[in-house]
């Protein structure tokens, strides 16, 4: 049964908002996702194209199976997503994109 890579790509309007987002994200939010079934996490800060480009954070969670991920989405994700929206409502300029993928191989 393949593991699942769950990536949340968060776009912040600037570095100041990204810093506030990172302080919210780790360790508290990340710990809660891991309590919900994730077995690993990686926080990635992609290069910015320019000083005026949005500041992106990619948070990559590994789940041991699709069932573990589906359980997380059903039981834990609603409260965690609500907390995200409470701290970073639409008017903050913060947006999230989610990608779910099977891990085919790791070396």
**For 12-52, how does the pLDDT look when each residue is reduced to its tens digit (9 = 90+)?**
999 999 999 999 999 999 999 999 999 999 999 999 888 88
Per the CB < 8 A criterion, the answer to whether 102 and 3 are in contact is yes
Predicted structure pTM score: 0.94
Tokens of residue 23, six digits: 């302080």
User: CATH second-level architecture of 6-102?
Assistant: 2-Layer Sandwich (3.30)
**C-alpha distance from residue 19 to each of 7, 8, 10, 31, 105 (Å):** 19, 16, 12, 18, 33
With CA atoms as reference, report the closest residue to 88 among 46, 55, 65, 51: 55
Alpha helix stretches (DSSP H) within 1-94: 15-24, 30-35, 66-71, 77-87
Mean per-residue pLDDT of the chain: 96
Query: What length is written for the chain?
Result: 107
């Amino acid at each position: 049964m393949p593991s699942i890579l769950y990536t949340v790509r968060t776009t912040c309007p600037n570095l100041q908002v990204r810093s506030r987002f990172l302080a919210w994200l780790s360790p508290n939010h990340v710990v809660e996702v891991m309590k919900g079934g994730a077995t690993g996490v990686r926080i990635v800060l992609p290069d910015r194209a320019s000083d005026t480009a949005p500041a992106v954070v990619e948070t990559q969670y590994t789940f041991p199976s699709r069932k573990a991920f589906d359980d997380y989405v059903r039981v834990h994700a609603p409260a965690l997503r609500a907390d995200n929206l409470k701290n970073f409502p639409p008017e903050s300029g913060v947006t999230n994109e989610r990608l779910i993928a099977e891990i085919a191989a790791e070396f």
